[in-house]
Amino acid sequence: MLMKDLFELTEIADEYLKSDKTVEISIINSIKDIVFNNGYFGIAQINTIAGDLEYNSKKIAKYIRFASAVGLEAVVFPEFALNGFPIGDVVKRHGVLLSDTKKWLKEIAEFAGNTVALVGFMEQSGDSSKYYNSVAVLRYGQVQRIIRKQVISNTSRYNDNKYQVADISDDDLYCGYGITIGDEIFSDKQILQLVYNKRPKLFINCALNTYADSRKILRANCYSYFASKYKKPFIYVNQTGANDNILFDGTSRVYDASGNLIARAKYCEEQFLIVNPTGGEGKIYPLPDGYDIGLRDNEEFSLYYGDLERIYKSLVTGVKDYFSKCGFKRAVLGLSGGLDSTVCAVILADALGKENVFGVSMPSHITSKESKTDAEQLANNLGIGFAEAPIWEMVETTALSLNGLFTNVEKKWNVRYKNPYTPDNIQARSRAMFLWGISNEFESCVPIATSDKSEAYMGYATINGDMSGGFAPIADITKTKLFALAKWINKNRPQKDVIPQSVIDKRPGAELAIDPKTGKPLKAEDALMPYEFLDEIIWRIENKHQCYNELLNTVFVYEKRNNISKVQKQEWLDKFYRRMSTAFYKWSIMPPFVMVEPHSINSCDYTQPITTSHINYKGADVKYINSCLGSNSGA
C-alpha cells in the first residue's frame, strides 16, 4: 500500500461515513498516527432532516465516534445540527421535539471521549414553547457546557425568530475555543469582540447559511477579516442540503490567524474535513463555477450566465433531498419537447436515477410532429421511461360537456368572453389529470410542475395545469438562463448532448393555441415580450430593487442589441407590471421548489398580498392626487 496523505485518508473515511459501513481500522489508525494530540479539528458539514431527531442523531453519533477514534482535538457540527432547519411552528405543536432533543443529546454525549464535540441544537427554555439556539459542548461522556446564541435576528422567513430566545452567557469559551452561533457575529452587539476579550485561542462559528447568505458574507470577506483582525484562526461550519425550499450551501471554511483560507469543504455535499487551524494544514476543495459571481462589486445583468454549474448542482440537490426526505422515490412529468420539461427531465434523472423517472408525451391536435419527436428522443437519450398518451379524446369530451354547461350559465350571466382561454386551459389541465392519475396509481410517485421563473412572473401558467405538481424543479430559473443551462448540460454532463439541439434552437411556446396570423402555434414571446427583455426586468427588480420609472430610464441589454422605441419599451413594462400584479395568487399556490438564486418568488423570499394588485406602480404626482381628493369644500 502506498503512503497516503491525511487528506486522501480523510476522503476514504468520508466515503465510509456517508455509507452504512464502518470505517476500516487501518484507515483509522493511519489517520490517528498523524492527528493524535496534534491540534487537528474535524469539520462535520452534514445534511440533516428537519425535525427528524433519530436520523440526525445517528449521523452525529457516527461522526463523533469516528473523531474520537482517530483522536481529533475537536469535531464541530453546524447550528441546529441535531434538529435540522427550518422548524417553523413545529415546537408549538410538537412540544415533544424540545424535550426529546435533550434526551438524544444526552445519549450522544456518551460517544464523546477525550475529543470535544460541538453540536448545534434547540435548547428548551423555561417557557416550554420557546427555545435557545444553542451549541452543546460534549466531552468525557457528558454535556459539559451549553453556549447560547446572544442575538436573534429579525429577518428569518421561517418563523423561528418567534420562538428563539436570546441569552447573554459568559460561557462562550471552552478549551480556549471562542464559540459563536450563526449570524450573531454580524450584529452590532460586537459579539466577537466580547469573545475576544476572554482571550480565546481560536474562533468557532457554528452556522446555517444559504448561498444568498454566503455571498453577502463572502462579498465582505467577513470571516477572513475577523481572523486577521483578531489574529486568531477562524473555523466556520455550515450545514448542506435542502429542506423544502431552503438550500444550505456547505462550503465550510477555516482561516488561519492571518486570515488566509486553509480549508474549505465542497458545495452542497456532505463532507467530513480534517484541518489543523494553528498548524495551517488543510485542504481547499474547489467551488462550482460561478459560485462567486454574485461577489463582484458592480453587478450588471448579463445574458452570459457563468454560474451554471452551481445552479445545476443546486437543482439536483433540491430535488434529491425533497424526495428522499419526504420518502418519495419516483417522478412523472409531461414531456412537451419544449425547454422547461426537457431541463426538468435531466435534473430529475440525475437526482432520482433514470429508472425512477417517467416522461409522458401528451399531444393535442395542435402539437407539432417535431415536439413529439424531441420528447421521445430526449427520453431515449436519458434512458427514462416514456409513453405517448394523446389528450384529444379527453379534450373533446370535456369541451362538449362544457359547451352545454356554458349555455346554461349564459342564461344567467351575460358576460361570456369572446375569445376565452378555456380551450387552451382544458388542454393543460387534461395533461395534469394524466400525470396526477399516474401518481395516484403507482407507489411513491410525484408529478412534476415544469413552470419556470419567467412564466411565473407573468402568470403564464395554467392553474391545475402545467403549474400543478408535487414539486417544481425550475421555478427559480428564468427562461434565458434555462437556455444557457441546457447548453451547459449538453457540454458538461458526463453523457454529452443529451438534449436534442432542436429543443435549444426553437422559440418557446405552450402549443395550446394557434396564432391566427401565422396559422402556427402561438409563441410565448408574442403573448408576452422577448424573454431577454423580460428576464432583465426580473433581474433588476429582484437585485436592484428598481421601480417602474427607474426601469424606464435604464438601458437594457436587449435595447443595445435591438432597436426598440420608447413606446414599445413602455408597453412591455406596463404589461409586466399588469401581469405580475395578477400573478400573486398563482405564486401563493405554487408547488414547493428550492431557492437557488439570491432572490425568488418563493413565499419564503418574497410575499405580496393578493389584494395589493391595485398598487400604483408608476407613482402619482401632486396634480393627480389633488384631482382625486377634490377640493376642501364642505363634507
Name residues contacting its own copies, limited to 173-212 (CB under 8 A). Answer: none
Rounded to whole angstroms, the Cα distance separating 19 from 570 reads 57
Give me the least distance between CB of 523 and its own copies, in Å please.
21
Rounded to whole angstroms, the Cα distance separating 424 from 403 reads 15
CA distances from 614 to 348, 528, 606 (A): 39, 21, 18
Q: Which is nearer to its own copies, 70 or 179 (CB)?
A: 70
What is the C-alpha end-to-end distance of the chain, expressed in Å? 96
Whose grid coordinates read 358576460?
A: 415
Looking only at residues 101 through 160 of this chain, which bind its own copies when binding is defined by CB under 8 A?
103-104, 107-108, 110-111, 129, 152, 154-155, 157-159
Position 96: which residue type?
A: V
Looking only at residues 490 through 549 of this chain, which bind its own copies when binding is defined by CB under 8 A?
541, 545, 547-549
Of 60-68, 221-229, 257-265, 552-560: span binding its own copies (CB under 8 A)? 60-68
Of 183-191, 284-292, 440-448, 493-501: span binding its own copies (CB under 8 A)? 440-448
Give me the least distance between CB of 376 and its own copies, in Å please.
13
Residue in 11, 89, 167, 559 binding its own copies, rule: CB under 8 A: 89
Looking only at residues 243 through 282 of this chain, which bind its own copies when binding is defined by CB under 8 A?
243-244
Q: Which is nearer to its own copies, 375 or 482 (CB)?
A: 375
Contacts of 72 (CB under 8 A, 6+ apart): 35, 40, 41, 42, 115, 274
- Tell whether residue 43 is a contact of its own copies (CB under 8 A): no
- Tell whether residue 400 is a contact of its own copies (CB under 8 A): yes
**Cell numbers that stand for 72 in this block:** 481529533
Position 410: which residue type?
A: E
Residue in 286, 494, 519, 619 binding its own copies, rule: CB under 8 A: 619
Looking only at residues 296 through 335 of this chain, which bind its own copies when binding is defined by CB under 8 A?
321-322, 325-327, 330, 332
Contact status, residue 56 vs residue 49, Cβ threshold 8 Å: yes
Give me the least distance between CB of 569 and its own copies, in Å please.
18
- Tell whether residue 25 is a contact of its own copies (CB under 8 A): yes
- Tell whether residue 391 is a contact of its own copies (CB under 8 A): yes
CB atoms near residue 20 (< 10 Å): 6
Rounded to whole angstroms, the Cα distance separating 251 from 208 reads 11
Of 184-192, 195-203, 252-260, 390-398: span binding its own copies (CB under 8 A)? 390-398
Looking only at residues 405 through 424 of this chain, which bind its own copies when binding is defined by CB under 8 A?
405-406, 408-410, 412-413, 415-417, 420-422
- Tell whether residue 166 is a contact of its own copies (CB under 8 A): no
Rounded to whole angstroms, the Cα distance separating 424 from 462 reads 9
Q: Which is nearer to its own copies, 190 or 397 (CB)?
A: 397
Give me the least distance between CB of 506 and its own copies, in Å please.
26
- Tell whether residue 563 is a contact of its own copies (CB under 8 A): no
Whose grid coordinates read 452567557?
A: 169
Give me the least distance between CB of 232 and its own copies, in Å please.
30
The residue among 571, 428, 417 whose CA lies nearest residue 511 is 428
Contact status, residue 290 vs residue 306, Cβ threshold 8 Å: yes
Rounded to whole angstroms, the Cα distance separating 223 from 260 reads 10
Query: Nearest-5° angle of CA 65, CA 71, CA 75?
Result: 60
With H, G, I as helix, E, B as strand and everything else as coil, classify residue 235.
strand
Give me the least distance between CB of 131 and its own copies, in Å please.
14
- Tell whether residue 426 is a contact of its own copies (CB under 8 A): yes
Looking only at residues 466 through 485 of this chain, which bind its own copies when binding is defined by CB under 8 A?
468, 470
- Tell whether residue 52 is a contact of its own copies (CB under 8 A): yes
Contact status, residue 145 vs residue 121, Cβ threshold 8 Å: no
Q: Which is nearer to its own copies, 369 or 623 (CB)?
A: 623
Q: Which is nearer to its own copies, 31 or 227 (CB)?
A: 31
Looking only at residues 445 through 464 of this chain, which bind its own copies when binding is defined by CB under 8 A?
445, 463-464
Q: Which is nearer to its own copies, 133 or 224 (CB)?
A: 133
Residue in 42, 71, 86, 363 binding its own copies, rule: CB under 8 A: 86
CA distances from 443 to 316, 332, 359, 438 (A): 22, 12, 16, 9
Of 2-10, 142-150, 437-445, 529-537: span binding its own copies (CB under 8 A)? 437-445
Q: What is the 3-state secondary structure (H, E, C) of 237-260?
A: ECCEEEECCEEEEECCEEECCCCC
Residue in 7, 38, 100, 506 binding its own copies, rule: CB under 8 A: 100
Whose grid coordinates read 434555462?
A: 482
Contact status, residue 455 vs residue 529, Cβ threshold 8 Å: no
- Tell whether residue 21 is a contact of its own copies (CB under 8 A): no
Number of residues that bind its own copies (CB under 8 A): 144
Rounded to whole angstroms, the Cα distance separating 577 from 546 reads 12
Rounded to whole angstroms, the Cα distance separating 331 from 320 reads 11
How long is the chain?
635
Of 1-9, 278-286, 387-395, 565-573: span binding its own copies (CB under 8 A)? 387-395
Give me the least distance between CB of 422 and its own copies, in Å please.
4
CB atoms near residue 17 (< 10 Å): 21
Query: Where would I find the H helices in 77-176?
Result: 90-93, 96-109, 160-163
Q: Which is nearer to its own copies, 565 or 633 (CB)?
A: 633
- Tell whether residue 54 is a contact of its own copies (CB under 8 A): yes
Q: Which is nearer to its own copies, 227 or 438 (CB)?
A: 438
Residue in 69, 135, 227, 537 binding its own copies, rule: CB under 8 A: 69
| Residue 457 DSSP class | H
